[in-house]
């Protein structure tokens, strides 16, 4: 038997071919933790930019982003090491800090949420939006499929990761999804590039590590990485078909409102397959509620039954969202009690508030706190004599983002409220995207 061929290093032109169909933006943030996969991506992106410029083409403006979660004492040192590697490649580097109290449970998931929030916030900052590059690769596809299979996921969970997805208005690009892990390691070794070994990658307490260690046993049964990925891609095609049908239903049934809510024609959900109707309800809840994940299937099924039976009554809540009946329609509104806490905002720094609105403050050294307009703020708007939209529910108005300084209302742009001398504050409902 001939010896197995050693994996080839990935080249800059190859990365260019992988990047081309993703249509990358003129600004790119590269997520680099210091581990081998992300360091390989950083190395390849630097080479790709040099390759473009050598061919007389304009290269994107690239920044390396490292998140320090503040969970390990070594994290700051590792971020500093990534900064040195980036500097050697003539790439700017930014360490993003996860500040504040850390959760006592579900820490990994919360850390991941914080990581993407920090990086997507950076991508929205500066002049012109940036895309975010991550180093997910072929082996990640197989491992993720098995993890979700173990959790009993359906079509969506078992679908392959997409090369492009949008998270809170930022495109996340994964150019390496068809590249095996071993090729990335070879790329590093050939370049003489070192990396940071994260001890958690060997910790058997984590399900991903257990799955990774189980793969050789599965291969002996004919269930290898390529077959797992092939199945995940097949599920991805099925998901795309279901999402297309949901898109068609959304265009027919839903009217998104810039005030952060939706009007839905009830009859449009009557005769469509349950799967499509359930997907639309989940989409409504995620966009109006600003959540990354849909509610449990059983809860969605109960809600769909109420919608179809015109049994919403005085209103039902699910996922921080309130459903109310209105003639031949039902409305999907943000629940006041579920609105996020106030967040400090400074001039030029973008922010996604409550997972729903892209907010931005401009003006020299401007600052303030973004929180819901609420009953108090709405009363102040009325006292100024400003006309309120008569067809917009009061709850939608109260859950709009507003700029405050202590208890003083400064700006609420949708209602054209601007206090004297207030800075320029803009907000845009992401649900309309």
Six-digit token string for 389: 């939209």
Instruction: List the single range of 31-35, 237-241, 291-295 with lowest mean pLDDT.
Output: 291-295
Per domain, the residue ranges of the chain are 12-229, 258-337, 340-432
| pLDDT tops 50 at residue 72 | yes
Whole-model pTM over 0.85: no
Task: Write down the residue that tokens 């994260």 correspond to.
Answer: 198
Q: Is the pLDDT at 433 greater than 70, yes or no?
A: no
User: pLDDT tens for residues 93-123?
Assistant: 999 999 887 777 777 778 888 899 999 989 9
* CA–CA distance, 61 with 56 (Å, rounded to integer): 15
- Return the CATH number of the domain spanning residue range 12-229: 3.40.50.620
The rounded distance, in Å, linking the Cα atoms of 223 and 226 is 8
Cβ contacts of 247 within 8 Å, gap of 6 or more:
none
User: What is the separation, in whole angstroms, between the first and last Cα of the chain?
Assistant: 55
What is the band of 202 on the pLDDT scale with cuts at 50, 70, 90? low
Over the range 37-53, which residues count as b (16 or more CB within 10 Å of their CB) and which as e? bbbbbbbbbbbbbebbe
Model confidence band, residue 313 (pLDDT cutoffs 50, 70, 90):
confident
- 3-state class percentages of the chain: helix first, strand second, coil last, to nearest 5: 45, 20, 35
Classify residue 89 as exposed, middle or buried by CB count within 10 Å of its CB (0-12, 13-18, 19+): middle
């Amino acid at each position: 038997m001939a010896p197995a061929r050693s994996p080839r290093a990935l080249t800059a032109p190859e990365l260019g071919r992988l990047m081309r169909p993703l249509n990358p933006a003129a600004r790119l943030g590269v997520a680099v933790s210091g581990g081998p996969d992300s360091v390989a991506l950083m190395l390849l992106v630097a080479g790709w930019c040099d390759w473009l410029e050598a061919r007389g083409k304009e290269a994107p403006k690239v920044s390396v982003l490292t998140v320090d979660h503040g969970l390990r004492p070594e994290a700051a040192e590792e971020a500093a090491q990534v900064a040195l590697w980036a500097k050697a490649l003539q790439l700017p580097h930014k360490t993003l800090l996860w500040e504040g109290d850390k959760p006592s449970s579900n820490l990994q998931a919360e850390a991941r949420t914080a990581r993407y929030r920090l990086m997507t916030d950076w991508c929205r900052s500066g002049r012109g939006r940036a895309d975010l590059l991550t180093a997910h690769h072929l082996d990640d596809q197989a491992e993720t499929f098995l993890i979700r299979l173990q959790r009993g996921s359906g079509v969506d969970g078992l679908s392959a990761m997409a090369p492009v997805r949008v998270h809170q208005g930022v495109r996340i690009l994964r150019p390496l999804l068809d590249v095996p892990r071993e090729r990335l390691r070879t790329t590093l070794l050939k370049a003489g590039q070192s990396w940071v070994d994260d001890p958690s990658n060997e910790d058997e307490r984590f399900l991903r590590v257990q799955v990774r260690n189980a793969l050789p046993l599965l291969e002996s049964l004919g269930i290898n990485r390529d077959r797992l990925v092939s199945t995940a891609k097949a599920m991805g095609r099925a998901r795309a078909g279901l999402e297309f049908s949901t898109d068609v239903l959304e265009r027919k049934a839903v009217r998104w409102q810039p005030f952060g809510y939706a009007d839905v024609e009830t009859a449009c959900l009557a005769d469509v397959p349950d799967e499509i109707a359930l997907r639309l309800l989940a989409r409504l809840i995620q966009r109006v509620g600003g959540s990354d994940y849909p509610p449990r299937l059983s809860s969605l099924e109960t809600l769909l039954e109420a919608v179809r039976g015109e049994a919403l009554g005085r209103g039902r809540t699910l996922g921080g969202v309130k459903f109310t009946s209105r003639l031949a329609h039902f409305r999907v509104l943000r629940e006041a009690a579920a609105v996020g806490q106030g967040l400090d905002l400074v001039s030029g720094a973008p922010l996604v508030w409550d997972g729903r609105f892209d907010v931005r403050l401009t003006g020299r050294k401007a600052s303030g706190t973004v929180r819901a307009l609420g009953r108090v703020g709405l009363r102040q708007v009325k006292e100024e004599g400003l006309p309120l939209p008569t067809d917009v529910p009061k709850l939608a108005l109260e859950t709009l983002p507003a700029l405050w300084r202590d208890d003083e209302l400064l700006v609420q742009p949708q209602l054209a409220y601007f206090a004297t001398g207030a800075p320029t504050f803009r907000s845009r409902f992401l649900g309309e995207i």
